[in-house]
Amino acid sequence: MFSTYFYSIAGLLAISLMVFVQNIVAAIAHRKQSRYIPGKVSEELSHDSFVFRSHRTFHNSLENVHQFTLPAILCIFLGASTTLLAILVWCYFFARLAHMALYYLLATEKNPSPRSYFYIVGVLSTFGVFILAITRLFI
């Protein structure tokens, strides 16, 4: 069964690895500050600080990744379309990768920022996975 979902599982692994890397980047950036308190980011920091941006990138991923991965895993157990699930998983991965890269590179308070568009692609992918799971469960 799992070999049928190879591409989806590989994508879920890539998503998990990306969040892990974001954690490492945020931890290193945080500890390179001249003054820091472990586990706390200064409230005085904003988008002009890489420490702030790396912290927000990681926490934004933490806030969103379970909403995607849990229904995606359920899709595997429900026997959802392998092709459609793989497309949604990899769309989510590349959207979150672009979101991460833009968050790291662009120091902007502008809203919507360029990263917002990739955030929306991730949200749409998440919505697609929910629809795929729900339709597989009830149809």
Q: What is the pLDDT of residues 59-72, one digit of tens each?
A: 999 999 999 999 99
88-98 pLDDT tens trace: 999 999 999 99
Helix (H, G, I), strand (E, B) or coil at 37: strand
Q: Which domains does the chain have, with CATH numbers?
A: 2-138 (1.20.120.550)
Global pTM reads 0.92
